Each structure stands twice: as C-alpha cells, then as structure tokens.
C-alpha cells in the first residue's frame, strides 16, 4: 500500500502549536514510508474562515518545512461532490430526508437527554409520500443495535455502542455539506490511507466510518494522538505557550528546534532528545506515540533551541546577527570571530542579535543602566590609562591577554579592577562573552574610541 497522509487545518485562526505537531507527525509518517503528505484547508465555515487565517497557516507550515507535497485542496471548492455522495447514500437507502424543524429537533434532544436515549427522527422510517413541501436535511441512517470497534494505531481497540450514535446530518437544509460528510469524502478522493489527528476527533471516527462503510470504500487506518497539555497538566492555553508557529519564529526560535521539540511531545526513540529531520524520518512510527497527553514545557523548548543555535555554522550565525544589513569586511570578520562565543550563550535568535549589537557598528554603544554603574570615576581613570598604553596591534586574543596581565601587574591592579568596566565601555552591557576575545576582535582603534566616549 502506498501511504498517503493529510493535514487538514480549519482556517479560523493561526496555525496552533498542537496543529503543527499533527502536521509534523503526518509528514514524518508519509516520508518514512515513501508516501505522500497532503494539505487540505477545511474552509467550509465561511463565517469563521478568513483569508488572513489561510495565509497564516501556509506561512507557518512553510516556516516549519511542512508544506504539502501537492497544491493544497480547499474543501469549500468540493461542495458539489459532497452533495453528490449524500444523494448516492439517499438512493441506496443508507440515508433519509429529515423534515424536522429546529423547534422539533430541540424537543427531541431534551427528551433524549431526560431519558438517556437516542435522538431518533420520526422521518427515519416515514413514508416518503407523506413528505411535506418543505426544506429538509439528509441524515445518515445509523444502526440502532450492536457496536463498532476501531482498531486505532495509537489508542488500540476502542468500541462504541450504536445507541450512542445519532443519525448524523450530512447535508443541511440549504444544501451545504456538514464537516462530518466532507471530511470522509475528501479523505477518500485524496486517497488518504492513514488519518493521523488529535484524539478529540476519536468520537467523530465512529460516525465517519459508517459513511465509509455505506459507500463501500476502504476504511483508512486511524491514529488519534493525545492532545498537548500545559506544564501543569491543564488544557494547553496561551499562558502555557499555545501560540502560533510564526509567533515562535518571531520570538527567536529556529524551525528545526521547534520541530525537534514537537516530535518529542508524545513520541520517543529511546533516550534520544536531539533528533535531526533525517533521523526523524528514518525512525518515526505510530507505535512509539504514547497514549497520555504530552506536557508543553517552554524551558525544554528553549534548551532545544539553544542546542540548535550552537550547532549553526559561523556564516549562518553571522548572517542572523546582521539580519540583512550590509557591512564592511572588517566588521564581518569581527562577527565571524565572535559568532561561536555569542552562540554559546544564546537561547533564542533574539539573544544572538542583542549580544552582537555592539559589534555590528564602529561606534561607541549605548550604555545600559547596569553597565553604567560599573563606570566609576576610578574605573574611568584606569580605562583611560590602559587606552593610552595600548600597543598598536595584537596578533591574537592570547597576545592581548598576556599584555593586559603585564599591564595590570605594573599598575598594581587585578583583572576585577579593569575587566567589568572595560566590558561596559566596549559593549554597553554588564554580561558578555570573554572580554579578552571581545577586545581582540574589536581591535585597538575601537578600544580607544569607546573608552574615550565614556571618559568625556
């Protein structure tokens, strides 16, 4: 069997981080089996679906490297096909016209709620000749007895009694298809073999399978994955980090880090934590997905991101620090020399850019309030003396370190007397990578210029 999976978001908002994980699992399963991964935009809810949300979903998937293998299918374009299937089921006797008014349906629901029984429309077995000239829905004729078992690839065998399944509406009175019908028809027509989605859809699967059986179509393999919870075990919300995929991009996370972290939310491969995309494709399987909800942990995501930042090549780090700005060859060399040290301390790309801000320009940086507190009168005097005694050049960081040690000894000073204020003067910050490395990379001319700026 050639595997085909699909990710089918509803464009009523951004690409949620949980949706991104579902897309990732579908992508990896298809790639692992050499199959296809498709995208379907379920935009039938015109009141809530917006072009902005559609664009946001595509943007998020592109950023994560999870765009579909083919052009996306828009569910709203297939209403005629959905209606055709509903009418086929009607002709086969698997469905019926229901003329219940909204008030009548409300009464039936209240009665069913009071008795614990099913909602059974009086039109289920009515004589078609008695039908009024009025709007009607098309309902699927569900079995009244017995049960259905789904052998879910994640949840295992799950059984539901048929007395818990009402006759679902497939076509509304205005002729528009419902979600339950459209999903089944689209999955079949797209050739989807494996439906991998959140376990909040598990109850839907029993109803949807009855449409599939009535049409005598192949039943796909179902894999309902547990939802993501917050670190406190509660339903994932914005306070836990339930943001859009692009929000994480804007916060300075790398797509590789986000995908690696999402992969480990509910799926495992031994004790491996850092897993490349190629490894994920090779190792991924539905059998390694847990049955319990995973817990989203922003600290773990950040730690994963730190690892990926440290793994970036120097030229990529330099490009990220510049963020598209043109610069001189001297500053480019400076950034390349400093890049590994900046990356070692960065948790997000925003940290990388902030850390490198002082090195991107050939002028004295603004001094933070914390750093300014280090620039006492004595510190300024020591810095001015050091600047005056500096040689014209150094051949290496070790050369600067050796000279500075000798200079401090000659002045009767310690590194703590010059290091913190020198860092403040050169970078405008209280904490940075090694000040010896920074001093060497900036060069003597910049050291003098920046010390002069704080000694005015």
Beta-carbon contacts of residue 19 (< 8 Å; ≥ 6 apart): 7, 9
Query: d(Cα 447, Cα 226) in Å, to the nearest integer?
Result: 57
Task: Let me know: does 179 contact 46? Beta carbons within 8 Å.
Answer: no
Is residue 308 within 8 Å of residue 256, measured between CB atoms?
Answer: yes
Mind listing the pLDDT tens digit of every residue in the chain (456 residues)?
A: 699 999 999 888 788 889 999 999 999 999 999 999 999 999 987 777 888 889 999 999 999 999 999 999 999 999 999 999 999 999 999 999 999 999 999 999 898 888 877 889 999 999 888 889 999 999 999 999 999 999 999 999 999 999 889 999 999 999 999 999 999 999 999 999 999 999 999 999 999 999 999 999 999 999 999 999 988 888 777 666 667 899 999 999 999 999 999 999 999 999 999 999 999 999 999 999 999 999 999 999 999 999 999 999 999 999 999 877 778 899 999 999 999 999 999 999 999 999 999 999 999 999 999 999 999 999 999 999 999 999 999 999 999 999 999 999 999 999 999 999 999 999 999 999 999 999 999 999 999 999 999 998
Catalytic option among 92, 210, 238, 456: 238
Three-state DSSP string of 350-395: HHHHHHHHHHCCCCCCCCCHHHHCCCCHHHHHHHHHHHHHCCCCCC
Per-residue pLDDT at 231: 80
430 is a catalytic site residue: no
Taking the C-alpha atoms of residue 191 and residue 182, their distance in angstroms, rounded to an integer, is 14
Q: What is the pLDDT of residue 252?
A: 95
Distance, CA of 257 to CA of 64 (rounded, Å): 10
Q: Give me the domains of the chain, ranges plus CATH numbers.
A: 1-67+226-311 (3.40.50.620), 78-225 (3.40.50.620), 314-359 (no CATH), 369-454 (1.10.10.350)
């Amino acid at each position: 069997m050639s595997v085909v999976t699909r990710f089918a978001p509803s464009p009523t908002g951004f690409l949620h981080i949980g949706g991104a994980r579902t897309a990732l699992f579908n992508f990896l399963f298809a790639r692992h089996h050499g199959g296809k991964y498709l995208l379907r935009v379920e935009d039938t809810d015109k009141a809530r679906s917006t072009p902005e949300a559609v664009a946001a979903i595509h943007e998020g998937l592109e950023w994560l490297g999870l765009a579909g293998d083919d052009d996306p299918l828009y569910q709203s374009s297939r209403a005629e096909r959905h209606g055709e299937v509903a009418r086929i089921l009607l002709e086969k006797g698997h469905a019926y016209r229901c003329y219940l008014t909204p008030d009548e349906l409300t009464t039936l629901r209240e009665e069913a709620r009071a008795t614990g029984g099913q909602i059974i429309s009086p039109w289920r077995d009515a004589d078609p000749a008695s039908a009024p000239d009025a709007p009607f829905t098309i309902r699927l004729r569900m079995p009244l007895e017995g049960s259905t078992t789904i052998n879910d690839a994640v949840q295992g065998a799950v059984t539901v009694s048929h007395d818990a399944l009402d006759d679902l509406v497939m076509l509304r009175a205005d002729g528009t298809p419902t979600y339950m019908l459209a999903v089944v028809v689209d999955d079949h027509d797209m050739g989807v073999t494996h439906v991998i989605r959140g376990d909040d859809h598990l109850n839907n699967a029993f109803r949807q399978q009855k449409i599939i059986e009535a049409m005598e179509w192949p039943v796909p393999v179902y894999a309902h994955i547990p939802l993501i919870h917050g670190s406190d075990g509660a339903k994932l919300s914005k306070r836990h980090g339930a943001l859009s995929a692009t929000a994480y991009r804007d916060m300075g996370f790398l797509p590789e880090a986000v995908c690696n972290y999402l992969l480990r939310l509910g799926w495992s491969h031994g004790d491996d934590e850092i897993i490349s995309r190629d490894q994920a494709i090779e190792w991924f399987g539905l059998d390694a997905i847990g049955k319990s909800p995973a817990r989203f942990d922003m600290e773990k995501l950040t730690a994963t991101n730190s690892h990926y930042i440290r793994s970036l090549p120097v030229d990529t780090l330099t490009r990220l620090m510049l963020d598209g700005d043109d610069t001189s060859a001297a500053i480019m060399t400076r950034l390349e020399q400093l890049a590994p040290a900046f990356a070692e301390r960065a948790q997000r790309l925003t940290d990388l850019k902030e850390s490198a801000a002082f090195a991107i320009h050939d002028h004295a940086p603004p001094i933070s309030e914390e750093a300014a507190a280090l620039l006492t009168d004595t510190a300024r005097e020591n810095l001015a003396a050091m600047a005056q005694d500096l040689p014209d050049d150094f051949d290496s960081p070790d050369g600067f370190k050796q000279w500075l040690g000798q200079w401090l000894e000659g002045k009767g000073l310690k590194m703590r007397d010059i290091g913190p204020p020198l860092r403040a003067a050169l970078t405008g910050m209280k904490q940075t990578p090694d000040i010896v490395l920074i001093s060497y990379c900036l060069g003597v001319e910049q050291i003098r210029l920046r010390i002069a700026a704080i000694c005015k």
